[in-house]
Amino acid sequence: MNKKKVFIIFFLGFTILIFGIFALFNNKKEVYHISNINGIQIKGDTTRYPVKLLEKIDGDTIIVIFNNKELKVRYLLIDTPETVKPGTPVQKYGPEASNLNGEILKKAKKIELEFDIYEKQDKYHRALCYVYADGKSVQEQLLTAGLAEIKYIKEPDTRYLKIFKKAQGVAKSNKRNLWA
C-alpha cells in the first residue's frame, strides 16, 4: 500500500472513533415532549409551577388551581392504597396515606408542580406531576412514611426514581406501615 492510502484509512478510522466517542458521551440529552396544560406550554424540564390546592382526593391525587383553572393531578411514580375508587373497598393504610397527604399540603405555604420530560397526562386526563410542599417532595414524604409505594414506572419519566427508591428503602428497613 502506498502512504496516501494508509493515511486515508488512518484518517477515516480516527474520525469514526472521535464521532463514536462524542456520540457515546452525548447520548444523555433529554428529548422533551411539549404539552399544553391549562393554556401553558409545558416542556417537562425542572420548572416548578406554583398552584393553589383546591381539594385533596386521596393519598396520590389532588385538585389544584393551575393558570386560573382546575387541574386534577396524579402523583408521578407512586401509588397509595385506595380510599375513594368506585367499586373498591377502602384499603389498609389508605386513610393514613390520604390524611398525611392532606396534612402536608394544608400546612404548606407554597405548593408547586413539576412535570417530567414525556408524558404529561394519563388516560383519565389527570396531570402527571411531582408535587412539592414548601420545596419538599410530597411523594418522597409519603414513601418515607411507608404510606406509598413506587409504581407505574414509564421511561423516560423517571427523573426522581433513585431518590424515591431510597425513601421507600428507608420505610422498608424500618418496617413502616405498608412494609410492617
Q: Do 116 and 146 fall within a single domain?
A: yes
The answer to whether 120 and 44 are in contact (CB under 8 A) is yes
Q: 46 and 10 in one domain?
A: no
> How many residues appear in the chain?
180
What is the average pLDDT score of the chain?
92
pLDDT in the model for residue 125: 94
> Cell numbers 402536608 label which residue?
104
* 174, 119: one domain: yes
Q: Is 74 a catalytic residue?
A: yes
CA distances to 7, 74, 160, 170 from 167, in Å: 56, 19, 11, 5
Predicted structure pTM score: 0.83
Whether residues 18 and 92 share a domain: the answer is: no
Indicate if 96 belongs to the active site. Answer: no
Same structural domain, 14 and 74:
no
Q: How many domains does the chain have?
A: 2
**Residues of the domain holding 12:** 1-30
The predicted-structure confidence for 50-90, as pLDDT tens digits, reads as follows 999 999 999 999 999 999 999 999 999 999 999 999 999 99
pLDDT at 36: 95
The pLDDT, as a whole number, for residue 56 is 98
| 126 part of the active site | yes
Same domain, 25 and 51: no
Lookup: cell for 102: 392532606
Instruction: Name beta bridge partners: 2.
Output: none
Q: Which of 82, 112, 114, 140 is catalytic?
A: 82
Rounded Cα–Cα distance for residues 170 and 176 (Å): 9
Statement to judge: residues 25 and 84 lie in one domain: no
Q: What is the per-residue pLDDT across 94-135, written as a single tens digit (0 to 9) for each?
A: 999 999 999 999 999 999 999 999 999 999 999 999 999 999
What average pLDDT does the segment 45-49 reach?
Answer: 97
Of 48, 103, 114, 126, which residue is the catalytic one? 126
- 83 and 129, same domain (yes or no): yes
Check whether residue 24 and residue 112 sit in a common domain. Answer: no
